[in-house]
Structures are given as structure tokens and as C-alpha cells.
Amino acid sequence: MKKSQIFTNGLIKENPVLRLVLGTCPTLAVTTLAFNGLGMGVAATFVLFCSNIVISALRKMIPDKVRLPAYITVIATFVSIVQMLVKAYVPELDKALGVFLPLIVVNCIILGRAEMFASKNKVLDSAIDGLGMGLGFTLTLVVMGSIREIIGSGSWFGMTIIPESVERFTFMTTPAGGFFTFGILMALVIFIENRTGNKKKRSIGCEGCPSQGACGAKGGCE
């Protein structure tokens, strides 16, 4: 696979949120503001990029039976670094993200890429995959946060966009508004794929399952 394709896969074709439907909990929770979405995306991208590199470099040294605990240990190390940096330099973001910042440790996107890609590919390819997936995750959060903040609060990154005289559609700042925006964006991505003839082939086989090695299944899921 070409390195450019590895990088761009995470943007639309294999977007971790809109196509693989991973990391939906923090996506829906933190995107009431665009700034929160950007902060969460950058933090997750840093962890994804660094953990992919380390796991790929150690892939031949980690025993198969303890690979998941080993991956989580690596990921938790970088999450701790991010959390300390955010607390020290962007305390308002740390307060806004709350528990979702340390929960990056168990984010399905990061653990899934470690198991599915970094553990099977070279360091450079794994680093590119981490950047691509992280960028796709960040763009999704920023777009969702922007839509919800502009329509629901009349602002964007703290700047007033809609005059105070115009009534806010506060529904967009609620969890239901998050699900609504999420569904619209998923439908939009599928529409773009269909129009460009770049529709992703789907399979119910085991190749994309993080637990493939543990369950011992050789065929598709029943």
C-alpha cells in the first residue's frame, strides 16, 4: 500500500468515527464547542502517533499472549504525558474534557490501530497511519463541534458569529443534537463515497477485529 493511501485512508474511506464508528462516546460528549473538539483531537492524535511508532518498533518483541496489556501500557504512558501537558498549559481544556482525556487510554481507535496496523507494519507506515487516522478523528470533532457551537450557541471558537438578537437553537448543544449531527455527517460521507465511486467494500470477516488472535476464529463472524 502506498504511503499516501495509508495517510488519506483515515480522512474519509476509513474515517475512524464516520466510517468505522469508533470513539463515538468522546465524539458526542466533547463536541458542544469546536475548541473542545480540536483539543480532544490533537491529544488523541499525539497518543495515536506515538503509540503506533512504539508498538510497531516492538512488534516482534511483544509475546502474542500479552500483546493487549502491552499495548495498553504503551498507550497509557503517552496519555499520561498528554494529560500532564494539558493540565499545565491549557487548564481550561483539561476542565472541559474532564474524564474523557484520561479515557483516551481505552479509546477503540487507538487500541484498534495498534492491533490492526501497528503490530503488523513497519514503523514509518505505522506513524503515517497514526497521523492519518488522528487527522480524520480531529477533523470530524472540529466539524461536529463547529456545527453544534454555531447553531446552538451562535459562536465559533469563542467568537460571536450570530448576533445576540437571533434566538439560539439550543437543541444542538444537547446529547440529542450531538446524535443528530453525527447521523447527518455519516450520511454525508456515504453520499460522497457513492458519488465518487469510492465506496468501501465491507466484510464481516475477522481481519478487522482486534480480538481475532485471541478467539482463534479463522472464518467470518456468524
* Domain presence at residue 179: yes
pLDDT confidence bin for 214, thresholds 50/70/90:
very low
pLDDT exceeds 90 at position 180: yes
pLDDT confidence bin for 215, thresholds 50/70/90:
low
Q: What is the DSSP string of the chain?
A: --HHHHHHHTTTTT-TTTTS--SHHHHHHHTTSHHHHHHHHHHHHHHHHHHHHHHHHTTTTS-GGGHHHHHHHHHHHHHHHHHHHHHHH-HHHHHHHGGGTGGGGG-HHHHHHIIIIITTS-HHHHHHHHHHHHHHHHHHHHHHHHHHHHHHHSEETTEE-S-TTSPP-GGGGSHHHHHHHHHHHHHHHHHHHHHHT-PPP---SSTT-TTHHHH---S---
Query: What proportion of the chain, given as a percentage, has pLDDT over 90?
Result: 60
C-alpha cell at 11: 480522512
pLDDT confidence bin for 168, thresholds 50/70/90:
confident
CB 114 within 8 A of CB 134: no
Nearest 10 degrees: Cα torsion 63, 67, 69, 75: 120
CB 52 within 8 A of CB 71: no
The residue among 38 and 216 whose pLDDT is bigger is: 38
* Domain presence at residue 129: yes
pLDDT confidence bin for 54, thresholds 50/70/90:
very high
| Separation CA 53–CA 117 (nearest Å) | 11
pLDDT at position 37: 94
pLDDT at position 198: 61
* Domain presence at residue 178: yes
What are 92-124's pLDDT values in tens digits? 999 999 899 999 998 889 999 999 999 999 999
Mean pLDDT of all residues in 160-169: 86
HSE-CB for 178 with a 13 A CA cutoff:
19
pLDDT at position 177: 92
Single pTM value for the model: 0.84
Q: What is the mean pLDDT of the chain?
A: 87
Structural domain boundaries, residue 53: 3-215
pLDDT exceeds 70 at position 201: no
* Domain presence at residue 221: no
C-alpha cell at 145: 463541534
φ/ψ of 29, rounded to 5, equals -80, -40
Question: In this structure, which amino acid lies at residue 27?
Answer: T
Task: Report how many domains make up the chain.
Answer: 1
